[in-house]
Structure formats: C-alpha cells, structure tokens
Amino acid sequence: MVQFEVKKVKVLGVDLGGTNIKIGVLDELQPGNIERVYLYPTQEPIYECLEKAIDEVMSLHPDIKAIGIGTPGFVDRKKGSVKFASENLPGWSGTEVKQKLESRFHISVIVENDANVAALAEVIFGAAKGYNNALMLTLGTGVGGGVIIDGKILYGPNGAVGEFGHMTLYPEGHSCKCGRKGCQEQYVSGHSLARRIREANMDMTPEELMQSKEHNDTAAAIVNEFTYDLALSITSLQAAFDMEILVIGGGVSHSANYWFEDLNKNLKNLLFHPLRVEVAKLKNDAGIIGAAQLIFMEG
C-alpha cells in the first residue's frame, strides 16, 4: 500500500504584545493572507504562556512547518533570543525563545523585533508595496520603527536599528525614560500628545484634540507643534537613510486624516528633497503577516 505523507505548507505568525499574544495561521501559497487568528491574553511567566498558546494552535493545525515571532525588545537574530525587553514583559529579557520552542515543537522558529516585522509586512503587502527602500516610523505610546534596505530588514549588532524614539530632538528638552533629555519619543508619541494637552490645561483625548482643531485655536497650535516636531524627526531620518518612502504606523497614525495635511505643510519647508509619506495599511495584522513572512523569505 502506498502511503502519502501530508505536506506541511502552513506557518504560524506570532505577534507577541504586552496585552495579547496573537497567533495567525498562513498558507505558504498565499503569503500575506491570514487564514485564522487565535488570541491569548499575555500572562506571566511569559515564555510558558507563549508555549502553551502555540501548543494549542498546533494541535488544531498539524500541518504547521515553521513559526515566525515578532516581539518587543532587542532581539539577537542569530540566537533567536531576547537581549532586552522593557518592564511591560516581566522576565522576558534573556529568554532563548528560538532554542526553547524548537526543542519543544521540532520545527524551525525565527524571532525578530516587532517593529521590524511590521515594517517588512508594510513593504511587501501594505503601504510601501513595490518599494525596496522604506522606513517605518511607529508612533504608539512610545516611538519605534524599522528600516528595509533592498527589501530586507536592516540589522545592527545589538538588534537595535530603528530605535528612532531615542534620537535627540531637543537637547535640553523633556526627560526621557532612557535617562536622557529631549528624545523624539517625548514629542511625537501618543504619550507626548497627552502631555501637550495637559500642559495647555485642556481636558480631552488626543483624538478629540485632532477633531477640534478646526474650531479651537489652542488645539490647532498643538497639532501644528506636534506635526512640526514630527516633520523635524522625519528630515533627520531622511538625512540618515535616504529612503524612497516613509510609512507612519502605530496608534497615533489612526487619526492621521486629521493631521496629515499639517504634517505635509511642515515637511515642505524642511525636507531635503520630496519624500513619499504614507499611513500604514495593515494596522493590527502587520505583526502576524510580517512574522510569517520571515519564514517565507528565509525559512
């Protein structure tokens, strides 16, 4: 009797966050297309929580051939370990993620920084599709990003390329959690918008601020200051990377329709040469799609 072996053609794309672990199932014949998503609350100890979640999904999908993981923090790409993660993920720093998961599940595992993973997804399937040299700037509670050169993620020896939030914008400016002063994160993050609102003695959310700028001069001034600082940040990045396109993602980008015109006005006076700037397209799926893409590209 001839026995046919089931060909393993599926991969898992894992988006590990401080609140949730999202696990997507993707088919290698349809990269960029998530078939199913499973959501688990992130609990301590984090590695055990991740392993249990993957185990559950793998028991439902026996045809998984590899796992791609995007995680916050500095990642040692070769070892697939987390060199450093913030206090949002207690105990996660130093975890040998690749080695532990591979010995548990006996399939290939790739681990990468989550902002790099999102940048990769946007370049291949999202707002920067068709471009080989792109930069993603993620404006969330903090500020991060990723750099894609010749279609590939740019790495540094410390896994820390794209820590744009800690480039200095105002040397004597607001204190940053990194211990220095005036970092970009203190001026263009969601957190910084909330601070600007507080300092103006206003009582509203950043979203409400954006919506009220047409009929509120104080709100309009804050939005202008914010987009000016963002434009300054972008010109420094252009000077360093000369990218073809910049994609803005993260929570702050969700209100971009209110402030994009202001940003373009400020950019016009500051850029060395014209730059295409777009808002991220893949939103919450970028982490899963990019993590799976690591496997399709290198697995």
Cβ closest to Zn ion, residue 229 vs residue 262: 229
Q: Shortest distance, CB of residue 143 to Zn ion, whole angstroms?
A: 9
Applying CB under 5 A, which part among 28-36, 160-168, 226-234, 241-249 lies near Zn ion? 160-168
Residues of this chain, 8-67, that bind Zn ion according to CB under 5 A? none
Cβ closest to Zn ion, residue 92 vs residue 164: 164
Applying CB under 5 A, which part among 144-152, 158-166, 216-224, 236-244 lies near Zn ion? 158-166
Q: Tokens 């999908």: give the residue.
A: 61
Say how far apart CA 192 and CA 44 lie, in whole Å.
Answer: 29
Determine how many CB atoms are found less than 10 A away from the CB of residue 81. 19
Instruction: Out of 9, 39, 60, 178, name the contact with Zn ion by CB under 5 A.
Output: 178
Edge to edge, the sheet with strand 143-149 lists: 152-153, 143-149, 134-139, 245-249, 276-279
Q: Which of 283, 298, 296 is nearest to 13 (CA)?
A: 296
Contact by Cβ (8 Å): 70, 113: yes
Is 148 a binding residue for Zn ion by CB under 5 A? The answer is no
Applying CB under 5 A, which part among 79-87, 152-160, 176-184, 284-292 lies near Zn ion? 176-184
| CA dist list (Å): 33 to 5, 13, 65 | 25, 11, 17
Is 183 a binding residue for Zn ion by CB under 5 A? The answer is yes
Question: Which residues on adjacent β-strands are paired with residue 147?
Answer: 135
Instruction: Out of 10, 77, 166, 213, name the contact with Zn ion by CB under 5 A.
Output: 166
Q: Shortest distance, CB of residue 180 to Zn ion, whole angstroms?
A: 5
Cis peptide before 157 (omega within 30 of 0): no
Residues at the interface with Zn ion (CB under 5 A): 166, 176, 178, 183
